Structure 1
Amino acid sequence: MASDVDSPPLVGRADQVATLRSALLDDVPPGHTAAVFLTGESGVGKTRLLHEVGDRLRGGGAVVLTGSCLDIGDASPLHPLRHALRRFDAELTATRARTSSTVRGLLQMFAEESAGPDGAGALLERVSRGLSLIAGGRPLVLVLDDLQWADRSTRQLLLYLLAGLGDLQLSVLAAVRAESLQGAHPLRRVLTELRRLRSVRVVDLAPLDRADTDELAAAVAGPALTPEAAELVWQRSGGNPFVVEELARDLRDGHDGLSDTLREIFLARVEALPTPTRSVMQAVAAGVEPVEHWLLARAVPLGEQELIEAVRAAVAHRLLVGADDGYRLRHRLVAEVLADELLPAERAALHRRYAEALTAVPADLHQARLAHHWRLAGEPARALPAAIAAAEEAERLHGFAEAHRHWSAALQLAAPATDPAGGTDRARLVERAAEAAHHCGEHARALELLAELAAGPGAPTTCELHIRRARYLAAAGRSAPAEAEYRSALAAADCSPRERATAAAHLAELLLHLGRYADAGDRAREALALAADVEGAASEVVLASAALGFSQAYLEDPESGLAAVREALEVAERSGRPEDVACAYLHLAELLTGPLNVLEEGVVVARRGAERVAELGLGRTYETRLLAIATNGLFRVGQWAEAEKVVAAALRHRPSGADAVELLLARCRLSVGYGDVEASDRDLDAVATMLAGGGARHVLPMLILRAGLAMWQGRPDLARQAVARGLTESRSDDVIVLATLAWHGLRAEAEAYADRTAEVDHTAVRRLRGVVDRVAAKSEQAARPVRYVAEGFLALCAAEVSRLDDGRGDPELWARSVTEWDRRNHPYPAAYSRLRQAEALLGRRARVATAGKLLRQAYRMAQGLGAEPLSSEIRTLAGRARVALEERPAAAARPAAPRAVSPPVASGGDELDGLTAREREVLAAVAEGLTNREIGQRLFISERTIGVHVSHIFDKLQVRTRVQASAIFLRNAAG
C-alpha cells in the first residue's frame, strides 16, 4: 500500500511500461523510427502511462519532448510541438545554454515563418533540422497527449518524421481518446494505415481487471475499503482507474455512501472548497489550457499570496494540475460542472479579463485564444480582428485546416455586409474562407461559401465565380460539373481575355486527366490562341502546351506533341517565372520518359531541368521531382549505379510529401533489384507512413514494389496480398501501371504453383486476366509509344499464365517476351525472361544448349546490373542443369570497363570481371581502408547498402575478409 494516498501507485501497467520503453528506445536501431499510439476511453490511464514511460525513456538517455494538443477549435498549427519545446526549454539548466539557444531559435522560427516557393515542405525540413540539433545525436522521443485534437500540420510533421525523412532516431508516444475517433475523423484513417507498419504499434489500453481495481482502490481508500465497498467500486467503475480513484477517495474522506455519478463527486468537492479556490477553479475552467500563472493572476482578482494558496488548495484536492507551462484541470468533467455554477454575466466577465490580459501582453501565436475569449465575452467587434489574425497566422504556417476554422469564426463574428468597427469586408472574409477550405480538402464547404459569395454584395464577376467553382469541383473529384463550369466561364459575357485563357487551359488539363485526349487537344489549342493576346500569360501557355503535347503524343503524333511541350519551355524561359520554367521541364521530362518512351533523352532533360530549377531556388520541390524522373529512367535502361547516385543527391534536399514519396519509391526499386531487403523494407515503410496522410496515386507503385520484394524473398503469399490490395484500392487507368501489377500477380500465382507452396487462386487469376484484357483494349486506343511499353508487359503476363499449365511455361511465349524487352533496351525484364525461357526448355528436356546460352546471357545481364536476387535464381537453375555460367571470351576481345563509373583496371584483370561498376567503386574504397560508413558517405548511399555490396564482392571473389578482397583489387590495378 502506498504511503502517499494522494499520489496512488501505477497499478496493473508495469508490463506495459517495460514493453513501451523497449519498443520506443531499446528496439529502435540508430537512424530508425518507431511509434506507439495508446488508445482508450477517458480516464483509463493514458496520461499517467505517458508520464511513467517518459521518465523511463529519460533515464535511458533519450531526449524527451512532452506536449499536449488543445481542443482543435482553439489550436494553432504545430501547437503541441511548440508546447513541448517551451516545456523543454524551461527544464534546461544554465549549463545547457547551447541547447536552450537551439530550442528558442526553433520557437522563434515558428513566429517568423512565412510561405516560400517550397511551402510547407521547407517548414517541415527546418523543424526536423532543429530537432536534430536538440537531440545532439541522442534518441529523440516526442510524447504527445490528446492526439485526437492534433492539427493537420502536426499530423503531417509526425508522418514526415516517422518516415525517416528527418534523419534522426525518433520515436513517438501518443495518447488518443478512443471515443473521439468516430466517423470521418482524420486521425482514424492515419492510424488505420500506420497499423500495417512493423515500426508502429497501436495499443488499446483496457480498464483494470478486478484484482488491480481492488489494489488501486485500497491504495487510495486505505482501511475505509471494506469488501462490500470494494465490490461497489468495481461495479460502478468498470475498472476505469480515474473513476476508481475518485470513488475510493470519496470513501476515504468519510462521505456517506458512494455518489451515483462523477458529476456529483466533483460538485460536492468543488462546493467544499474555500471561495478563493473556487474562483481559481472557475477561471481555469473558462481558460484555454494550459493557463499560465501570470494570466491566471490577471483573470482572478486575488493578491499574489492568496492566489498561490488558492492554487495550492486546488492541487491538493486533485482538481488542478500544475506544471511549468501553466495549470490544467485534472479532468474536463470539472469544467462542465463549474460551467453550470457560473451566471452568464460571471462567465462573460472572466473571458473579458482573459482577453484584456492577452491584449496587453504581446506574445506570438496567441490570436486564436484572444479571439476565443473576446467572442465568449460578448465582444464580437473585438474578437473579429483576432480571428482574422489567427487565420493569417495559420496560413503563414501552412495550416489551412486551422485557417479555415478561424475564417469561419470570423464570418460568424462579422456583420452581414461589413464590420462597422473595423471596416472588414465580409465578401473578402467569405473569399478567404472558401480558399482555405479548398486548400485543406473541405471542398463541399468551399462550394457553400462560394455560393454565399455569389449571392452577396461585392461578389466577383460571373466568369471568376465559374472558374473558382470549377477548381473546387475538380479538386473534389466531380469532373462533370467542373467541366460544365469551365465551359460556362468561357461563355460568360463578362469574361476577360486572361480569364478565358485560364479557363480554357484548366479545362484542357481536366479533359486530359479524363482520358479525352482529342477534346483536351482542342481546348489546349483554344487556350494557346487566347493566351497569345494576353500579356504575361506564361502560366496559361505552359499548362495548355503540356496538355496539347500529351494529347498529341497519345493520338499518334508524338513529334507534334513533343514540339508543343518544347515550345512551352521556351515561353517559360522567356517569362522568367520560376514555377513556369519548372513546370515546363517537368512536363517535358514526363513526356519523354512516359508516353514517348525515349528514356535516354528523358533522363538528360530531367537532369538538365533539375540543375536549372535549382538555380531558381526550387530545389526541394521541382528539382527532386525531376531527379526522381531521371532515377526511374536510369533504372529502366539498366544504369543502376548512376541511378543510385542521382537519387542520393536528390534526397540530400530532404523533400517532403509527394516529392519524398517519388524519391523513396525510386530508391526502393534499386534496393529491390539489388536484393537489399532491409533497405527495401525501410523505404516501403517510409512510403506507407507518408501515404497514411493521403496520396492515392502512389499506392499502386508502392504495392507493386512490395509484391516484387516478396517474390524475391520466396513469399508469393505476401505478393498476392499486395496485388489484391492494389486491385481493390486503386482506381488507376494508367495502362503501364496496371499491366505491371497484373504481371506481379500472375507471377505470384505461377510461383505458388511451381513451388507447390500453395494452391492457385483461380478467382485471382480470372481477375488478373480481366485486368490484362482491359489493358490490351485501352492500349489499342493509345499512341504507339504507350502501346509499345504495354505490349512488353502483356508478353510477360501471357508467359506467366502459361506457367500455370505445367509449372514450366511455354518457351515460345518466353522467347517472345525476350524479344520484346530486348527491343526496348530494358535489361532487367529481358534477363528475367531469358531465365524463364531456359527453365521452360530444360523442363521439356529440349534444346539444352540453347537453354545454357540463355542462362549465360541472363547471368551476364543480371551481374552487370548488380541484380543479386535474379543472379542467385539463375545460378540455382544453372546448378541443377549443370550449366557453366563463367564461360567468357578471350581477354583481348573483351571491352574495357567504362572509365566514368569504375576504377582503372589493367587489361589482364580477369579476377574483377564479375563485378558490377558499383561493386568496383566499393572495392576500390575498401582497398583504401575505408569503413562501410565512410564508403557510404563518399558514394552517397546507405551503410546497409554498402554492406550488401561488400557481401556480393566477397561471394564473387571467393574471399572471406576485406584484406583478401583488397589484395585482389591492388594486384589487378597494379598488373
Structure 2
Amino acid sequence: MASDVDSAPLVGRADQLAVLRAALHDEIGPGQTAAVFVTGESGVGKTRLLTEAAARLRDAGAVVLTGSCLDIGDASPLHPVLQALRRFDADLTAGQARTSSAVRGLLRTFAADSGGADSAGALLERVSRGLSLIAEGRPLVLVLDDLQWVDRTTRQLLLYLLAGLGELQLSVLAAVRAESLQGAHPLRRVLTELRRLRSVRVLDLAPLDRTGTDLLAARIVGAPLAPEAADQVWQRSGGNPFVVEELARDLRDGRDGLSDTLREIFLSRVDALPRHAHAAVHAVAAGVEPVEHWLLAEVLGLPEAELIEALREAVAHRLLVGADDGYRLRHRLVAEVLAHELLPAERAGLHRRYAEALTRAPAELHQARLAHHWRLAGEPGRALPAAMAAAREAERLHGFAEAHRHWTAALQLAATPVTGPADAPPEVDRTALLERAAEAAHKSGEHARALSLLAELTGGEPLDPSCAVRIQRARYLAAAGRSAPAEAEYRSVLESVDCTARERAAAAAQLAHLLVLQGRYADAGQRARTALELAASVEGSTTEVVLASSALGFSEAFLEDPDAGLAVVRRALETAERSGGPEDVACAYLHLAELLTGPLNILEEGVVVARRGAERVAELGLGRTYETRLLAIATNGLFRVGQWAEAEKVVAAALRHRPSGADAVELLLARCRLSVGYGDVAASDRDLEAVATMLAGGGAPRHVLPMLILRAGLAMWQGRHDVARQAVQRGLTESRSDDVVLLGTLAWHGLRAEAEAHASRTVAVDETALRRLRDAVDRVAAKSATAAGPVRVIADGFLALCMAELSRLDGRGDPDAWARSAAEWDRRNHPYPAAYSRLRQAEALLARRSRSGAASTLLRQAHEMASSLGAVPLTSEIRTLAGRARVELTGRVQPAGRVPTPRTGGSRSPGAGRSRAVAAGEAAVPPGPDELALLTAREREVLAAVAEGLTNREIGQRLFISERTIGVHVSHIFDKLQVRTRVQASAIHLRNRGE
C-alpha cells in the first residue's frame, strides 16, 4: 500500500527528516557507518519519506543508490543492490564517465561470480571495493525500500558493510513494513540486534496527527475541506497518509462511497489473518469502541490463550490497536469494509451476543451500548428501555447532544412495527418522549429540530393551550433568532388567565432576558421586576430568579447605577452556581460578560469572564449554544482593544462547534468585524450574506444593526458610498434599541458615508439622509445624558466622531474636533477609532496648509496603530495621504496624544534629536519629559509590575488578567518604548519615577 510518491505532498514529517539527516549525514565521518530503519504500517509514508530524504542527501553531496526488494525471497540474490546500480548508471551524464565505468565494473563482478567455498565472502569484499570506487571519497547512501522482503545475500551484505569492514563512509536508509515482521522473520531478529548499536536507529513512523491530516487532504483537494468532510477523512483514515490521499482524491473528483482500491486493500489484509484473528477483527468492527477484553471474550467464546493469540495477530498486522481500556480498529474504514462482508443473520447474531454479554455483566450497564446492540440485533422491544435510560444518563452528565440522539432513537423504536409479542416495546408516553427530545435538541444547539419536534407534539397548531409548551416554543424561537414571534409567545402567556404563577414568572424572566439581548433595557427591567414579584410566591423558582436578576442588573447598570447593577448580576451568577442549573449558569455568565464588555467598557475583565464562562458552560454541555455566544463576546472585546490576532483564534475555535440560529449569527458578525477591519472583502461578503440569509423575515436590532453597520463600513472601503448610505438609513428605520452606543455607531457610519461621498465627489450628499442622521445624533446625545456613567463615556466617543464627521461636510474639516475624538478613544484604549481620528485630523491640518509637522506626526502615529492591527484599508488610506503630503512614515513616532507645537519660522521633525534604536543594551531616550506617554493606563500598570520583577503569571494574578494577555501587553510596551528586554523597560519606568 504505497502512495504515488511523485505527486503526493510531504506533510508532517519535518522532524523525521531532521532525524534522518542527522543520523545519515551530520553524525558520521570517514570510515564510519550509520543506518536508519524506518518501520511503520502500510501506507504510512515510508517510501515518500525515503524519497525526500534521498533527494536532500544527494543535494548535500552524497552518492545515493536507491533500490527496492521484491516479494520473492531468496530467488533473486542482491536484487535491490543491482537495481540501485542500474538506476544510478542510467542517471549519470557523459561527464561522469569515470563513475560510470566503476558502476559497470561492479555489475560485471556480479555477473562473473562463479561460486566456490569462499565465494560468499569474496563477493562481499568485491562489492565493498566496487562501492568505494563509485563513492570516490564521498558519503555513500544506500536506500532500500520494502526491506521486509530482502534476500539473504543482500541481508549479509548490509551486515558486512555496517560492521565497518568495507572501509566506506556508508549510510543505509531502509523502509520496513511493520506488519510483515511476524514470528520468526529473519529480519526481525536482525533489527533486534542492530537496535543495540549506537550507529543504528529504528524509526517507527506514526500516522499523521489531525493537523497533518487536514493539511495533506487540503493539498490534494486544492482547498481546505469543509469541517464535516475533514472530520470524516480523519475518522476514516486514522492519519494514514495513503488512505488520506485516496479519500481526498475521491472528494476532489466527486466520487461517493469507498473506492475499490481501498476496499480491496483492507479486505486482503483482513483475509490474510488466521481464523480466530479474523473473527476478532469482525467482532471489534461490530462493537462500540473501545471493546473491553472481557466483553470480547464473551462475544467470541474462545479460550483465553486462543483469544490472546488471535488478538496478538490482529494487533501485529496493524488492524487492531490494544490499550488498557480495550481494543479499537486502527482505521475506521475497516468497519465500513467489513459491514458488507457478513450476512445479515451473522451481523444480527454478533450484536445479540454483545447485548446479552452486557446484560449479564455484573458492573453498571452502559445503556447506550446496550440500546445500540439490541436495536441492530433486531429487537426494538429490548432496545427502547435502554435508549431511554441512556438519554436520561446523558442529560444527568450534561451531554445534551448525546441525549438528543438517544431520545430520537427512542422515538424511532417506539414507532417500530411489532413483528411478534416478544418484540413488543413497553408502553411509553409519546408526548413525553417528544418533549424530552425537543428540549435536548434545543440545549445541544439544534433549534430548528427542536421546533420541528414541538410542532409534532402540538399537531402543527399555531398555538397550543398548554402554557408550558408556549414558553418552550418561545425559547426555541428566540434561540433560532426569531425574536418577534418569541416575544409574542411570552406575552400570550403573561396575558393568559389559565397560566399559573410559576409559568407567568418563567415567561416574564425569559422575556426580560430576550429584551436585554435586543437592547431594550427599560422594557427588560420592567419585565424582570414582574418576574421577581411572581417568583417570590413560588417555591423552587431559582431559575426564574437567576434569569430575572441578571436581566434587571444589566438594565440598571445601563440606565441607572453601574455599580449596583453589576453587583446584582454578580450575585445572580453566584446563585446560579449554587443551584447548578446549566442554563442558569450560562445566562448569568452571558449577562455579566456582555455588561463588562458592553456598557461598562471594562474590556479586559469582560474578555476574561467571557472566556472563563465559555469553559464553564462547555463543561455543562452547552458548547454549541452559550459557549459560542460567550466566545463571540470575547472576540468583540479583543477586537475593540486591538488584539485582532487573538480574536481570530477565539472566533475560529468557536465556529468549530458549527452553531445554528442566533448563536451562529453572533459568531459570523464577530468574524465579519475582523474581516472588514483587515479589508478582506470576499470573507466579509460571505459572512454578511450568511447573516442576512439567517435573519431573513425578521431579526432583533441586536443582530440587524451590526449587520448593517458592517455592510456600510465595507461599502465605504470599496468606495460604494450609496450602498453604505442605504444600509445606514435602513438601520435608522429599524432601530428600536435603547442601546445608545449601537445607535451612535450607526450614526457615525452614516455621517462618515456622507462625508466620504462629499469628499469623493462621486455621489451627491443626500440632505434627507443627513437630516435623519442629525436627528439620530440628537437622540444619542439626549439618551446618553441620562444613561449610566460608563455608557455616557462610550456614547461621548461616538458623538465626538459624529461631530468631527459633520465638520468634514464643509470640505475642510475641523482638526480640533478630530483631536477631541482621538483623545476620547485614547482614553478608552480603542486603537482603531483613535487611528482613524488621527488620519482625519492630519487631513484637516494639511487642507488648511498649516502645521505640517503636526500632521506628519499624526500620520505616523495613525500608521503605526493601524499597521500593528493589520487594518489594511485604513493603513492604505493613511499611506495615500502621506504620499500626497510627502510624509515619510518609517521615522520615529511621537507618543500618541502629544502633538508638538510648531515653532515660529517653521516646524521641526518630531523625530529630530532622538537616539537610534537600542544597539548595545541601553534604552533609547525619547524627547520630552514623559517617556511613557504612549502607554495606556493598563500598560503602565503592567510596566510597574514588570519593574518589580514579577513574571507574566504573577502580574496576571495581581491584575486579574490571563497570562497570555499580559504577554501581549508586554509586547506592546516593548514596541512602544523601543526596548528589547524587561530590564530596559524597567529602567525607563524607574527613570520616569525619578528613581
Q: Which amino acid aligns with 1:400?
A: A
Distance 2:561 2:994 in 1: 41
Partner of 2:590 in structure 1?
A: 625
Distance 2:689 2:275 in 1: 66
1:720-799 to 2 correspondence within 5 Å? 720-731=685-696, 732-753=698-719, 760=720, 765-766=722-723, 769-779=725-735, 782=736, 785=738, 790=743, 793-794=746-747, 796-799=749-752
1:564 deviation in Å? 4.0
Distance 2:799 2:644 in 1: 23
1:670 deviation in Å? 2.7
Partner of 1:485 in structure 2?
A: 463
1:797 deviation in Å? 2.0
Partner of 1:88 in structure 2?
A: none
Change (3 A) 1:672 1:301: closer
1:379 deviation in Å? 6.2
1:284-683 to 2 correspondence within 5 Å? 294-300=294-300, 303-305=303-305, 321=320, 323-324=322-323, 325-326=326-327, 331-332=334-335, 335=338, 338-340=341-343, 344=345, 353-363=353-363, 366-371=366-371, 373=373, 385-397=385-397, 398=399, 399-408=402-411, 410-411=413-414, 425-428=426-429, 431-432=432-433, 435-436=436-437, 439-440=440-441, 469=455, 481=460, 484-486=462-464, 489=465, 503=470, 515=484, 523-527=492-496, 529-531=497-499, 534=500, 537-544=501-508, 547=511, 562-572=525-535, 575=538, 576-589=540-553, 603=566, 605-617=568-580, 620-634=585-599, 638-640=601-603, 643=606, 646-647=609-610, 650=613, 653=616, 655=618, 656-683=623-650
Change (3 A) 1:350 1:289: same
Q: Which amino acid aligns with 1:661?
A: T
Q: Is the 8 A contact 1:672 1:709 kept in 2?
A: yes
Number of matched pairs: 692
Distance 2:625 2:716 in 1: 34
1:354 deviation in Å? 4.3
Partner of 2:11 in structure 1?
A: 18
1:853 deviation in Å? 1.6
Distance 1:750 1:334 in 2: 55
Are 2:658 and 1:702 equivalent residues in the alignment? no
Distance 2:304 2:519 in 1: 80
1:570 deviation in Å? 3.8
> Deviation digits for residues 125-162 of structure 1, max 9, x if unmatched?
xxxxxxxxxxxxxxxxx9999xxxxxxxxxxxxxxxxx
Change (3 A) 1:602 1:245: same
> Deviation digits for residues 449-505 of structure 1, max 9, x if unmatched?
x8xxxxxxxxxxxxxxxxx658778xxxxxxx55x332xx2xxxxxxxxx5587589
1:173 deviation in Å? 5.7
Change (3 A) 1:50 1:388: farther
Q: Is the 8 A contact 2:474 2:487 kept in 1?
A: no
Change (3 A) 1:888 1:369: same
Are 2:937 and 1:917 equivalent residues in the alignment? yes
Change (3 A) 1:552 1:815: closer
Partner of 1:853 in structure 2?
A: 816
Task: Give me the CA root mean square deviation.
Answer: 5.9
Change (3 A) 1:800 1:602: farther
Distance 2:983 2:525 in 1: 53
Q: Is the 8 A contact 1:297 1:307 kept in 2?
A: yes
1:403 deviation in Å? 1.0
Are 2:753 and 1:800 equivalent residues in the alignment? yes
Partner of 1:905 in structure 2?
A: none
Distance 1:591 1:918 in 2: 28
Are 2:898 and 1:886 equivalent residues in the alignment? yes
Of residues 664-673 and 700-709 in structure 1, the stretch that sits farther from structure 2 once superposed is 700-709
Q: Determine which of 868, 871, 877 is the counterpart of 2:831.
A: 868
The percentage of aligned residue pairs carrying the same residue is 29
Q: Is the 8 A contact 1:509 1:520 kept in 2?
A: no
1:547 deviation in Å? 3.8
1:434 deviation in Å? 5.8
Distance 1:240 1:717 in 2: 39
Q: Is the 8 A contact 1:509 1:544 kept in 2?
A: no
TM-score, normalised with respect to structure 1: 0.57
5+ residue gaps in structure 2?
A: 20-39, 51-205, 219-224, 250-256, 785-790, 846-850, 855-896, 902-927
1:681 deviation in Å? 1.4
Distance 1:567 1:958 in 2: 57
Q: Which amino acid aligns with 2:651?
A: L
> Deviation digits for residues 588-617 of structure 1, max 9, x if unmatched?
3455578x7987775454334334434444
Distance 1:741 1:747 in 2: 10
> Deviation digits for residues 807-849 of structure 1, max 9, x if unmatched?
49979959877666555355557546645765775796646xx
Change (3 A) 1:960 1:854: farther
Of residues 274-283 and 369-378 in structure 1, the stretch that sits farther from structure 2 once superposed is 274-283
Which one scores higher on RCO, CA 8 angstroms, separation ≥ 6? 1
TM-score, normalised with respect to structure 2: 0.56
Question: What secondary structure does 2:358 align onto?
Answer: helix
Partner of 1:89 in structure 2?
A: none
Change (3 A) 1:189 1:844: farther
Distance 2:595 2:744 in 1: 23
1:675 deviation in Å? 1.6
Q: Which amino acid aligns with 1:526?
A: E
Question: What secondary structure does 1:427 align onto?
Answer: coil
Question: What secondary structure does 1:726 align onto?
Answer: helix
Question: What secondary structure does 1:675 align onto?
Answer: coil
Q: Determine which of 649, 656, 678 is the counterpart of 1:689.
A: 656
Distance 2:984 2:356 in 1: 77
1:863 deviation in Å? 1.4
Q: Which amino acid aligns with 2:706?
A: T
Distance 1:807 1:283 in 2: 73
Question: What secondary structure does 1:339 align onto?
Answer: coil
Larger Rg: 2
5+ residue gaps in structure 1?
A: 1-7, 27-45, 57-141, 146-169, 179-184, 195-199, 211-236, 247-261, 451-467, 474-480, 490-498, 754-759, 890-907
Question: What secondary structure does 1:567 align onto?
Answer: helix
Q: Is the 8 A contact 2:607 2:634 kept in 1?
A: yes
Q: Which amino acid aligns with 1:675?
A: G
Question: What secondary structure does 2:484 align onto?
Answer: coil
Q: Is the 8 A contact 1:671 1:677 kept in 2?
A: yes
Q: Is the 8 A contact 2:614 2:630 kept in 1?
A: yes
Distance 2:514 2:371 in 1: 50
Distance 1:772 1:651 in 2: 33
Distance 1:209 1:651 in 2: 34
